[in-house]
Amino acid sequence: MHIKPIRLRNLILPSNVAMAPMAGYTCYPLRMLCQKLGAGICFTEMVSANALKYNDQANRRLLLTTPKERIKAVQLLEGDPGIVERAACGELLSEFDIIDLNMGCPVPNVFKSGQGSALLSDMPRAAALIRACRRSGKIVTVKFRIGLKEDEPVAAEFARMCEQAGADMISIHGRSRSMMYDGAPYYDQIQLAKASVSIPVLANGGICNCKDADKMMERTGADGVMIGRYALENPYIFAQLTGRPVREDRYALLKEQEELALRHYDEPFALSYLRSIASYLMKKRKGTKAYKQKMYQCGSLKELDLIFRAAFAEEVSL
């Protein structure tokens, strides 16, 4: 795919390859890793706009960032425009350049609350959320799916609504809410949405290698791609797509993640996070099941490091 910068008002994304927001994963250390490997923008985990009023440890962890994060983008989940406006204009989000509104989460409890992908069937309220967020003065992006059901697509109409309401960029997951995370993406729906708007469009869904990214770009005409769970298994995909040289092996990347996690979080969180990331990085390797069992039974970072060294033995520099 052709790598190019994307302009969002006065902000320039250095590449048109994005890391998708993923609950439980895209904390500060992982965003810094993906930025280093070539991602032009990385989003926080999904944050409840309403929960920000509590200003608790969990939210502070989700919102943690530093000046080293080149472009700061937070994803908000909410269905009430008033709550979104207060959150967007609030002190807790003051460091963030971009607010991404989640209008695609398919999880049942989110959907039943009228948030996430439920907004696909309520465009007036979705538009009100975008307008409310715009009043913060921040750049506003929207992530959504092609529709609730694959035989009832709304991607083009929803894309037009987003642009008219003031969104600066949209990201389209090429699956319906009913498909969850399985099945081939509907390239034609992303293409129709792209043809309907003048703002940048990122295409998401089913990208597991460079060929998939090329196919997505060719078949949709999108301005860039957004990569989700495959990037956990192979974060090098960002370097492969952008042509950025990388020397570090997986073990070295894990050690860097450990150092960042310990610098900014407590040890229990660092241990839990590293187990999750390592589980993806060692996917399809010989002995993975046994290593995972050992990882989730160990109780310290020292023990965990010994497991990492064994699992990635061929990559460890002694």
- Cα(46)–Cα(58) distance, integer angstroms: 12
- Cα(55)–Cα(92) distance, integer angstroms: 8
- Cα(219)–Cα(225) distance, integer angstroms: 12
- Residue ranges and CATH numbers for the domains of the chain are 6-242 (3.20.20.70), 250-315 (no CATH)
How many angstroms separate the first and last alpha carbons of the chain?
37
The catalytically annotated residue of 105, 133, 208, 298 is: 105
For 38, residues 6+ apart whose C-beta sits below 8 A from its C-beta are 15, 17, 238, 239, 241, 242, 243, 244
For 267, other C-beta atoms within 10 Å of its C-beta total 11
Q: What is the pLDDT of residues 80-125, one digit of tens each?
A: 999 999 999 999 999 999 999 999 999 999 999 999 999 999 999 9
Are 140 and 134 in contact, with CB atoms under 8 Å apart?
yes
Residue carrying structure tokens 């990085």: 281
For the entire predicted model, the pTM comes to 0.94
Are 190 and 220 in contact, with CB atoms under 8 Å apart?
yes
Residue 168 to residues 98, 131, 139, 243, 281, Cα–Cα distance (Å): 10, 11, 6, 27, 34
| Known active-site residue 105 | yes
Q: What is the pLDDT along the chain (318 residues), one digit of tens a residue?
A: 899 999 999 999 999 999 999 999 999 999 999 999 999 999 999 999 999 999 898 999 999 999 999 999 999 999 999 999 999 999 999 999 999 999 999 999 999 999 999 999 999 999 999 999 999 999 999 999 999 999 999 999 999 999 999 999 999 999 999 999 999 999 999 999 999 999 999 999 999 999 999 999 999 999 999 999 999 999 999 999 999 999 899 999 999 999 999 999 999 999 999 999 999 998 877 888 898 999 999 888 999 999 998 888 766 553
